[in-house]
Chain A
Amino acid sequence: MANITLEFDSGTLVLDGLSDPAAGQLPSVTWDQRTQQWRAPGRAYRHIVTRCKELGHVLVDHARAYETLNLTLAEPIIPREHQTHALREWSSAGKAGCVALPTGAGKTIMAVLAIVMTGRSTLVVVPTIDLMQQWEQVLSKFLKDAGQPCKIGLLGGGAHDPQPITVATYDSALIHIERLGNKFGLLIFDECHHLPAPQYQTIAIGSLAPFRLGLSATMERVDGRESVIFDLVGPLVYEAQIHQMVANVLAPYDVYSIQVPMSDEEKNAYQKARSVYTDFLRRSGIRFNNGADWMQFVRMAARSADGREAMRAYREQKHLAQAASGKLHATWDILRRHRGEQMLIFTDDNALAYRIGREYFVPVLTHQTKVKERKAFLDGFRRGEISVLATSRVLNEGVDVPEASIGIVLSGSGTVREHVQRLGRILRARPGKRAVLYEVISQGTSEYFVNQRRRQHDAYQGSSTLP
C-alpha cells in the first residue's frame, strides 16, 4: 500500500509517493527522466484511480478539478426510441463510447440527456463556430444547475469564458487543454471523426475526463483511422444509418445529377490546362493513390518553373469545371422550379460561393462571415425570411437548418462523407416534406468520374440523372 499524490500538469498526471513496483502496477505510468517524476497522460486518470482503489493505495487527488453538478432539465424531453437505446448502451459501457446517428436524428438532444445523467462539469468540443453557438443555444435552453438557469461557457471565435458546462471549438480546446484538462468530468466530441487528426488527439489524451461521448453521422474515415476514435473515447455503442430512419425520423428524399455542357471556350481552356497538369504528373511519375502522393505533387510543383505552371494549370482546370457558366444557368432553373422553398447551395470553395452570391444576390456563409452576420443569416433562413443560402463548407457539418428541403451541390471534395453531410442538411423531418438534392456537374470533366464513384454509396439509393 502506498500514499500517492496525484497532480495535473499540462495535460499529464504527475504521481508522487510511488515506488518502482507500485508504479508498475498502475496503467500508463512512466518515469519521466526530464523532471525525475512518475508521469501518465491525463486520459489515464480513470484507470489509475480505479486501480489505486483496487490495490488499497491511499490517494491524495489534487488532479481532479471538475465539479459534481446538480443538473436537471429546464424543459421536458421525451426521447425517441433510438435516443433512449443509444443512451442506455452508452451508460452500460461505463459512459465512455461513441454513437453514430444520421444528421437530424437528434444527436444533440441525446447529448443533453447524457450530460444530465452524468452530472459532471462538461466540455463539448465542436468543429465550427456555428456549431458552438448552436450547442450553446440548446444547452442554455435545456439545462438547469441547482435549479438555476445554466450559464454556458464558450471557447473559440473570440470568446474565452470557461464555465462548468462549456462548448469549445476543436482548435480552442487544443490550445487550452493543458490548462483546462482537469476541469471537466465529461468530454463530448461532436463530429468526432475529426479526432484522429494528430493535433486534435491531444485534446482527448490531455484531458482526465473519465466520461466520454463521441458523436458523428458516420465514424468511417477515408484513412481508416476510426480505431483512434474508439481508443480515445470508447467503443461504438450504437449506430443507425440514414435509410433506417427515413420515414420515421428523417424526410424521404431524391438525389438528381444534372450534367451541364461547358461552352466551347471553357472546354478548350479546360483541356489545355488539364493537359499541362497531367503531363507534369506523367513526367514526374506521380500517381494519386493516397494523400502522400498529393503532398509529393505540391512539393515537386514548388521546385521548378514547370511545376509551378502545373500547379497553376491544376487550379485553373478545377476552377473551370467547378464554375462553368452552364452551372449558373442550371442553378437558376432550379431556384425557379422550387421558388418559395428553403434552399442551400453548396460549393467547394469560397470564390465560387461568393460568385453565386453576387450573381443571384443571395447571402453567403463562409468562415469569413462575421459572427453577427452569420447569426442573422441563419436566423433569417430559419424564420423563412431568407429562402436561399450559398455556402462553401461551413454548413457541411451539424448546423441545424431544419427548414431546408432543397440542396444544390455545385462543387465539392468528392468524398462520400461530404455528400452524406450535405444530404443530411436537408433531411430533418417535417410533415409532408420530401427533400431533393441536386448535383450539378460539368460534362466531360473529372467531376463526372468523381460523381460516378460516389454514387456507389447507399445514400444514393433511388437517385437518377436529369438530362
Chain B
Amino acid sequence: MLTKDLLRYRSRKDRIYPTLIKVDDPELLALAAGLIQTFKSAPGSRLTELDDEIESGPWLNHVLLPAFKKLLLDRCDEIEEDGVIADRRTDLLQAAEKLRRDGDYPTLADFHSAMRSHIGEDVASMQERLYADLAEFRKIKTFEELTPEALLHRYNCAQIQGLLLVAQEVEVRIVDANLAEKRNFFRCLKFQRLLSSTVIDESAKDTVCKLSGPLKIFQNSQSYGMRLAQFFPYILQMPKWQLSAEIKIGGKVLTLELDHRVGIHSHYKKFTPFVPPELTAFISSFNERQGPFSATIGEEFLALGQQSYCFPDVTFTGADGGKVHLEIFHRWHAGQLANRLKVLATTSKQRLVIGVAQDVASGKDTAPVLEGSAWFSVHGFIFKNLPTPKSVQQVLIRHAAASAG
C-alpha cells in the first residue's frame, strides 16, 4: 500500500476524489516498464545501489516515481544478513571504547589516527563497514514480477486503499454477482473479521452491505481501516459494484463514491466457481423423478442473521413457484454445522433444509448437537455418500408441512 504522503486526491465541498491514472497511458506504461526492468535486475544488489540506479533514470522528477517505487519495493524480499558484520562491529566498538578510556585525544582527528594505528585499517573503510547491515544496505533477494499495466492498476487500487485506511465504514452495493462470487465475497469478509449489515434488494437483485467492525458502533475511529483497505481488492472482483465511504482526513469528513467503472483490476487471486459433478448428477436424478419440485444449482444466498450467510447447494422450485433451498454439510465444513443450527433455532423461518453426511452426523461432537436440535428433526436429514432424491423429497414434505403449520 502507499503511505499518506504518496496519496493524490482532490476534495471539493464534502466529497473526495482520488486522482487515478489512465492504465493505457503510453507514457506511464513506459515509466512502469522501465522501473520494472530496473527492479528485475535488482536481486543481488543493495537497496542503496537500487536507489542510485533509479535516481539516475530519466524519470527522476516524475511525480509518480515515489509511489511506483514503493509499490515495487513491496514486491521485493531482502536477504537476511548473516551476523558477520555484527561480530566485526563488536570488535571495532570494543577497541574504540578501550582507546577512549585509556587515552586523551584532543581532537576527533587524533582519535581517528589512533584507531587507524590500532586496527591497521583505513578509517573510512572501518566507518563504511561499521553499520553496513542497516536496512538501506541490505541486498535484495527476489522481486515478484508484474506487467506494466498491472502496476498501473495496482497504483490506482493503492490510491483508494490509502483513503480507505482512514474510513470508518464502507457501504458496498454488489450488482449482478452470481452465487459463487457472492459466496467468495462473504467468505473474504469473514476472513478480514469485518461485520456487515446486509440488505438484499430483491427488486434489483442487488446486495447492499455496510462493512465495519464489531466496535464501530461504540468508537468512531478508523480502527478497521486496514481491514477495509485490505478487503477492497475483493470488491474489485465483483462484476458490478458501487462503494460509498466516509473518509476522515485533514480534520474533515469527506465522502468517497466509486463504482466498477473505475476499471481497476484486482491483484488478488480470483476465486473460480466449481460445481462438483456429483451434485449435477443428483439434480438430474432428482428431476427425472418428476415430483412436485424441480431442482437447480443453488442461485440465491440467504442472510440468516447474526452474521450467518448460507449459500445453498440446490434450490427446489414447487409448482406454485415457491422455493426451498438445500444446504449440504460434508466433513470439510462440518465445523459450521453447530453454529448454523444455533442460528436457525433463533432466527425467523427460513426456506431451508439441511443434509448432513453420515460420518459428520456420527461424530462425537456433532451427534449430540443433531439429537438436541428440534429444528433439524423437522428440516434436516442424514445421508451416506450423497443425498438421494427420495430422502430429499421426504424432508421437503416435512418442511412444507411445518411451514404451513
Residues of A near any B CB (own CB < 8 A): 9-12, 28, 30, 32-37, 39-41, 178, 198-199, 201-202, 205-206, 292, 295-296, 298-299, 302-303, 305, 308, 328-329, 332, 335-336, 339-340, 354, 357-364, 368, 370, 373, 376, 385-388
Contacts and interface: CB of A to CB of B under 8 A. Distances in A.
B59 to A, nearest CB: 14
Contacts of B104: 336, 339
A305 B217 CA distance: 43
B21 to A, nearest CB: 15
Contacts, number: 121
B175 interface: no
Interface stretch (B24-32, B33-41, B192-200): B192-200
A28 B215 CA distance: 12
Interface string B191-233: 0010111000000000000101111011101110000000000
Interface string B36-77: 000000000000000000000000010100000000000000
B23 interface: no
B100 A364 contact: no
Contacts of B280: none
Contacts of A39: 214, 217
B115 A361 contact: yes
Contact of A202 (B93, B95, B97, B221): B221
A37 B214 contact: no
B108 interface: yes
Interface of B: 4-8, 61, 63, 86, 90, 92-93, 95-97, 100-101, 104-108, 111, 115, 126-127, 130-131, 134-135, 193, 195-197, 210, 212-215, 217-219, 221-223, 250-251, 305-307, 347
Contacts of A32: 217
B218 A205 contact: yes
B214 A10 contact: yes
Nearest to B215: A11
A198 B105 contact: no
B222 A198 contact: yes
Contacts of A376: 90
Contacts of A339: 100-101, 104
A368 to B, nearest CB: 6
A206 B108 contact: no
Contact of A201 (B197, B217, B221, B347): B221
A32 to B, nearest CB: 6
Contacts of B212: 34
A178 B219 CA distance: 14
A87 to B, nearest CB: 31
A296 B249 CA distance: 10
A171 to B, nearest CB: 12
Given A298-B5, A357-B131, A34 B197 contact: yes
B307 A35 contact: yes
A277 B213 CA distance: 42
B86 A373 contact: yes
A298 B4 contact: yes
A387 B195 contact: no
Contacts of B195: 34-35
A370 B65 CA distance: 31
A436 B290 CA distance: 95
A277 to B, nearest CB: 16
Nearest to A366: B134
A358 B100 contact: no
Contacts of A359: 108, 127
B107 A302 contact: no
B96 A361 contact: yes
A202 B217 contact: no
B215 A205 contact: yes
A12 B61 contact: no
B100 A305 contact: no
B250 A363 contact: no
A198 B131 contact: no
Contact of A387 (B101, B127, B221): B101
Contacts of B131: 354, 357-358, 364
A363 B101 contact: no
14 contacts: A35-B306, A199-B222, A328-B108, A329-B108, A332-B107, A332-B108, A336-B104, A360-B96, A361-B92, A361-B126, A368-B134, A385-B97, A387-B101, A388-B97
B215 A34 contact: no
B100 A387 contact: yes
A117 B305 CA distance: 44
Contacts of B63: 305, 308
B98 to A, nearest CB: 10
B115 A10 contact: no
Contacts of A201: 219, 221
A363 B347 CA distance: 64
Q: Which of B8, B95, B108, B222 has the most CB of A within 10 A?
A: B108
- A-B CB proximity, top 5 nearest: A361-B96, A34-B197, A198-B221, A41-B218, A358-B127
Contacts of A364: 131
Contacts of B4: 298
Contacts of B197: 33-34
B106 to A, nearest CB: 8
B134 A354 contact: yes
Nearest to B218: A41
B215 A41 contact: yes
B210 A34 contact: yes
A85 to B, nearest CB: 34
A361 B222 CA distance: 44
A303 B5 CA distance: 10
A199 B22 CA distance: 34
Contacts of A202: 215, 219, 221, 223
A202 B224 CA distance: 10
Contacts of B217: 30, 32, 39
B218 A34 contact: no
B250 A368 contact: no
Given A9-B214, A35-B307, A202-B219, A178 B193 contact: yes
Contact of B196 (A34, A335, A363, A385): A34
Nearest to A376: B90
A305 to B, nearest CB: 7
Contacts of A37: 306
Given A178-B214, A202-B215, A303-B8, 16 more contacts: A12-B215, A28-B218, A30-B218, A32-B217, A35-B306, A36-B306, A37-B306, A39-B214, A198-B221, A296-B250, A302-B7, A332-B111, A336-B106, A354-B134, A361-B95, A385-B97
